[in-house]
Amino acid sequence: MQVDQLWFAGQSVWCEPRGVVTVCLPPNADYATLLLAVFAPHQRFMMNIIRYSAVALVVLLPLNVSIAGDWPQILGPDRDGIANGEQLLSSWPAGGPRQVWKTDVGQGFAGVAVRDGMLVLFHRVGNYEVVEALEADTGAGIWESRFPCRYQSGMSSDAGPRCVPLISADHVFVYGVTGMLRCLEVKSGDETWSMDTWEKFSAPEGYFGAGSSPVLFEDRLIVNVGGRDNAAVVAFSVKDGSVIWQAFNDTASYSSPIVAGIDGEQHAIVVTRLNAISLDPSDGRIRFQFPFGMRGPTVNGATPVVAGRHLFVSSSYRVGSVWAKIESNGSQPTSSGEDLLATQYATPVRYNGLLFAVDGRQDIGSATLKCIDPEKQKVLWEEGGFDYGSLIRVGEELLFLTFAGDLMRFRADASQFQRGQVSNVLDNTPRGYRLPALSNGMLFVRDDQALKCLQVGKSNVR
């Protein structure tokens, strides 16, 4: 039976080809009961899931409850660069997508997060890290919180925060450039608690300060701290910031962790400075690990990607990619080197069992768009000559935003590269790390001076 999309209790259930089922469930739910209820009308489909061991059930854990159109954390609802529930306009005006609003911004590499019509901007203004809540459809201010910050980078002229905010139903979490982790009230911006992770865990600042956006799992926030004494990864209580567990020894990376349920087991997957690890998010127990990264002036920046029973990680700096099979007793990594993919910080995006990705680095040479089959370790097509940038998938199309400020759309086609419209939407910037966010048809992008809201898809905004 072919099942493309199901609905249960107002929640969407996607079935991708090649046997990967993505289920977005409400929080505090009886997951077994819900899954049975969802698939009960499709018994043959459910039996096929049970019968064939090659089919993996991947449950991407919810950020409390986020609806279609939300972009509440780095790389969207499921931290995979996929805009579920969005639909692009068939075409944009000749001059590019309509600008709905624009506002000035300070320093920082952090993209924005959006939930329930509220956008959160995290940036540096003077000697303060500033968290601003704005109305997503108008840019009007809701609240603002400021925290002193005197960080200066030895590697970058930018001294602002690098991590994308995380918005839950009740809180906003921000991780500052100096390792200050803060929990704010979502309605007011008032600080609930804070934790100086660098001081508590003796974590080095790295090349560009703290730059790995935390992930939320149930009642805890999991952070790539990079501290000493078994504190590479730390889980903090959402309630009061207390430490629930800490694990592993390594310094931090600029890759953000993810949490995924694979075959009934929960995995907090973290790329650290020199390793890729999976931990049990409930207690920090290491499920598997393998070396990933290289010593010297290098960084791991792309977020790990889970596809079925496999994990894909990629980095530049002569590191390349690893495709690893996830098993109950560990993992079986297959190193592919740099030929398949070597991306500096742009996270590959899944579609139909394939990955669409940006190969190369922002600071050296040009970038190449690629469609790869990670299972077969094969490049299906590649198109070069671009400025480096990042990707978002919307249905069967991808949006590609470059650090030169160009926004391009192209088809998620396995057979060939199909370029669509290209528009210049931002000023050229050497700091293109600020990831775009897509919510309710609005694309939020920022350069060194401004945050812009652009209408790229169908929306109720006038």
Cβ 172 vs Cβ 131: under 8 Å: yes
Residue 430 within any structural domain of the chain = yes
- The whole-angstrom separation of Cα 297 and Cα 374 is 27
Q: What is the pLDDT of residue 267?
A: 96
192 and 339 co-located in one domain: yes
Look at the chain and report how many structural domains it folds into.
2
Q: Does residue 273 belong to any structural domain of this protein?
A: yes
Q: Does residue 74 belong to any structural domain of this protein?
A: no
For residues 342-361, give the mean pLDDT: 97
- Residue 461: band (very low, low, confident or very high) from pLDDT cuts 50, 70, 90: low
- Domain extent for 40: 5-60
Are residues 13 and 113 located together in one domain of the fold?
A: no
| Mean pLDDT for the stretch of residues 212-226 | 98
Pair 128, 207 in one domain: yes
For residue 198, pLDDT over 70 is answered with yes
Residues 22 and 142 grouped into a single domain: no
Q: Is residue 80 part of a domain?
A: no
Q: pTM of the predicted model, to two decimals?
A: 0.87
Q: Are residues 364 and 430 in the same domain?
A: yes
If DSSP codes are grouped into helix, strand and coil, which group holds residue 332?
strand
Q: Residue 406 is part of a domain; what is its CATH number?
A: 2.130.10.10
- Are residues 82 and 349 in contact, defined by beta-carbon separation less than 8 angstroms? yes
Say if residue 345 is in the same domain as residue 243. Answer: yes
For residue 438, is pLDDT > 60?
Answer: yes
Q: Do 50 and 117 belong to one domain?
A: no
Say if residue 287 is in the same domain as residue 225: yes
Give me the chain's average pLDDT, please: 87
pLDDT band at 423 (very low <50, low <70, confident <90, very high): very high
Same domain, 289 and 420: yes
How confident is the model over 386-391, as a mean pLDDT? 97
- Give a yes or no: residue 209 inside a domain: yes
pLDDT at 158: 87
Assess whether 201 and 334 both reside in one domain.
yes
Using the predicted structure, report yes or no on whether residue 27 has a pLDDT greater than 50.
no
Which residues lie below 8 Å from residue 305, measured CB to CB, with a gap of 6+?
80, 311, 312, 313, 347, 348, 350, 355
The reply to whether 285 and 431 lie within a common domain is: yes
Question: Is residue 324 a part of any domain in this protein?
Answer: yes
Q: What is the pLDDT, as a whole number, of residue 194? A: 98
Average confidence (pLDDT) over 36-55? 37
Percent of the residues in the chain that have a pLDDT greater than 90, as a whole number = 75
- The encoded tokens of residue 198 equal 């660098």
The 8-class DSSP code of residue 292 comes to -
In-domain check, residue 163? yes
Q: How far is CA 306 from CA 19, 21, 142, 244, 261, in A?
A: 13, 12, 36, 25, 10
Closest CA to 374 of 339, 420, 403, 346: 339
pLDDT of residue 460: 67
**Residue 155 resides in a domain:** yes
Are residues 155 and 52 located together in one domain of the fold?
no
- Give 193: exposed, middle or buried? Use CB within 10 Å, 0-12, 13-18, 19+: middle
